[in-house]
Amino acid sequence: MKTHHSSWYVVFTAVCCFVACIGDFAVTIIIGLIYKNYDSLNQSESFLGTSQSPVAAYMNTWEIIFSILFVLYAYGLLRTIFKKGFWQHVAVWLIVIYGLGEGIGSGIFPYEHVGDGLALTGKLHLLFSAIGVIAIAVNAFVLVKVFPKKVYPKINKYTRFVAWSGLALIILFLLAKMHLIPFRGLWQRLFILDYYSLLMVVTIEMLIEHFRN
Closest-CA residue to 88 (of 162, 145, 160):
145
Of residues 188 and 213, which shows the higher confidence score?
Answer: 188
Residue pLDDT, tens place only, 143-187: 999 999 999 999 999 999 999 999 999 999 999 999 999 999 999
User: For the chain, what are the domain ranges?
Assistant: 4-212
Closest-CA residue to 72 (of 16, 6, 8):
16
Quote the CA–CA distance of 22 and 193 in Å, as a whole number. Answer: 9
Q: What is the pLDDT of residue 1?
A: 42
Closest-CA residue to 173 (of 32, 23, 43):
43
pLDDT interval class at 5 (50, 70, 90): low
The per-residue pLDDT of the chain, averaged, comes to 92
Q: What is the pLDDT of residue 114?
A: 86
Of residues 33 and 210, which shows the higher confidence score?
Answer: 33
Q: What is the pLDDT of residue 186?
A: 96
Residue pLDDT, tens place only, 101-129: 999 988 888 888 888 788 998 999 999 99
Q: What is the pLDDT of residue 87?
A: 97
Q: What is the pLDDT of residue 7?
A: 84
pTM over 0.85: yes
Q: What is the pLDDT of residue 24?
A: 95
Residue pLDDT, tens place only, 9-68: 889 999 999 999 999 999 999 999 999 889 999 999 999 998 889 999 999 999 999 999
Q: What is the pLDDT of residue 4?
A: 54
Exposure b/e, 136-146, CB count within 10 A at least 16 = b: bbbbbbbbbeb
Quote the CA–CA distance of 128 and 176 in Å, as a whole number. Answer: 20
Quote the CA–CA distance of 208 and 14 in Å, as a whole number. Answer: 11
> Residue 2 pLDDT more than 60?
no
